[in-house]
Amino acid sequence: MKLKLIPFMLLLICGYTAALAQGFKVGVKAGTDIQKLSGKTFSQEFAYGYHVGAAFEIGISKKLGIQPEVLFSSVSIDTGTSFSDIYHFDNIKKAKLQYIRIPLLLTFKPNPFMVLQLGPQYSILKSADKNLLENGQQAFKEGDFSMMGGLQINISKFRIYGRYAVGLTNLNDIDNQEKWKSQTVQLGIGLTF
């Protein structure tokens, strides 16, 4: 129940902030997610996926703002050679994860073209590979809280961005043998209206 309240509260905060804002823009964005999970049961190579979604640029002052976003993200992570040995799954080579990601970024514009971004991101697991089940329980927790930082370049209405997010939540919902934490690089382009 608590997981479902978080997006609602974020929307209320964003709506209130937008009403007080000095500038408000809506945009669309798409790009690649480059992600890996920590732990010996997963490959330490980064895996490639994608994200698409919407962003809202809310100006608080000339240099400061807030940029809430809603993104759909999908990535397939390779399991390590010891995954089946430790968790007794037969022949599982990948874990496909699909999330609704909700970053809430504080933005700082040192100049009109460059935007520094920093803030939390909450990700809601929408689906995971159905092969990763044990006794009817999903292998991954439903939510992932992370901290994100990055850089966005503004060229007229176009946006080019790169970010790094480090997960703070242990995603392992099977047992406590190992902590699974995410690391994600997001690269993408966007367009504001």
Residue 136 pLDDT exceeds 60: no
- CA 86 from centre of chain: 28
Give me the mean pLDDT over the 128-156 stretch.
79
pLDDT per residue as tens digits for the range 115-127: 999 999 999 998 7
Chain centroid offset of residue 92 CA: 24
- pLDDT at position 135 is 43
> Residue 91: in which H helix or E strand, if any?
none
Flag the least confident range among 24-33, 65-74, 177-186.
177-186
32, amino acid identity: T
**Which of the two residues, 38 and 22, has the higher pLDDT score?**
38
Q: What residues contact residue 146 under an 8 Å CB cut-off, 6+ apart?
A: 120, 121, 122, 123, 165, 166, 167, 168, 169, 182, 184
CA distance 181 to 166: 8
Tell whether the model's pLDDT for residue 64 goes beyond 60: yes
Count of structural domains within the chain? 1
Q: How high is the mean pLDDT of the chain?
A: 84
* Full residue range of the structural domain in which residue 101 is found: 2-192
Q: Which helix (H) or strand (E) holds 159?
A: strand 158-167
**Polymer length in residues for the chain:** 193
pTM above 0.75?
yes
Give CA–CA dist 138/129, Å, rounded.
9
Beta strands 94-108 and 182-192: pairing type?
Answer: unpaired
Please determine, for residue 84, whether its predicted confidence score (pLDDT) is greater than 80. Answer: no
CATH number where 44 lies: 2.40.160.20
Q: Is the pLDDT of residue 80 over 90?
A: no
pLDDT at residue 55, rounded to an integer = 97
Say how far apart CA 15 and CA 63 lie, in whole Å: 20
Q: Which of 42, 45, 29 is nearest to 129 (CA)?
A: 42
* 171: helix, strand or coil: coil
Residue 71 has pLDDT above 50, yes or no: yes
